[in-house]
Structure formats: C-alpha cells, structure tokens
Amino acid sequence: MPNTPVPAAGEAMPRPSYNRAEIMNAAHRYAQMYRGRDWSYAYLLKHGLKNAWAVAKEGLTPAQRRAEAIRAEIEALAYKPARYDIFPTKLRLEAELSALAA
C-alpha cells in the first residue's frame, strides 16, 4: 500500500476521475463483439466492465497501449518455428513502433 500523506484538515483525498461514459461504451462494445455465443449479455457486460476498468486504471494512452502490444508481438516472434519467415513481420512492427515513438 502506498504511503500517501493524509490531509490534516480532514478534507477528502483527491480521487482520480475516469470517463465513465467511455468505460461503459467499451464494455458494451465488448459485449456486442461476443454476442451470439452461449453467454448472456449480462455476463459479457460484466467481463467487458472488468476489462474496461482495468484499462482505464492503467492510465495509458491508446498510443502507449499500442506500443506495448507491438513490443510484446516483437518478443513473441522469437518463439515462432523456424519454418516461418519472421523478418518481414519484425521489420513492419519495428517501423510501426518507431512511427508511434516519433
């Protein structure tokens, strides 16, 4: 648990604000994406909300999330079998990563 100072005057601690409409829209998109399977809408919405809140609490911008995903993809290329030519894919991903960094 972080060691944060408590205000002496008794006022409340500052709370981070989240765009709750964006979180609900992301959860609804998640539920719509997986509809038609064996799960109910409520079940899918529950998991969509869980995922959307986790993404919101990370505090990363979409560009930062994409850069992390690209880095993970590049690392995963090392575990592809030798019969796959990973060089063009790696070049494409590195170019996309450098474009995001610029």
| Rg of the chain (C-alpha set) | 20
What's the token pair of residue 36? 């038609």
Rounded Cα gap, residues 18 and 57, in angstroms: 8
pLDDT higher than 90, residue 38 = no
Mean per-residue pLDDT, 7-34: 84
Q: What is the pLDDT of residue 18?
A: 87
Among 14-18, 52-56, 84-88, the minimum mean pLDDT is found in 14-18
User: Domain segments of the chain: what residues?
Assistant: 19-59, 61-102
**C-beta atoms surrounding 46 within 10 Å:** 15
Provide the whole-model pTM: 0.58
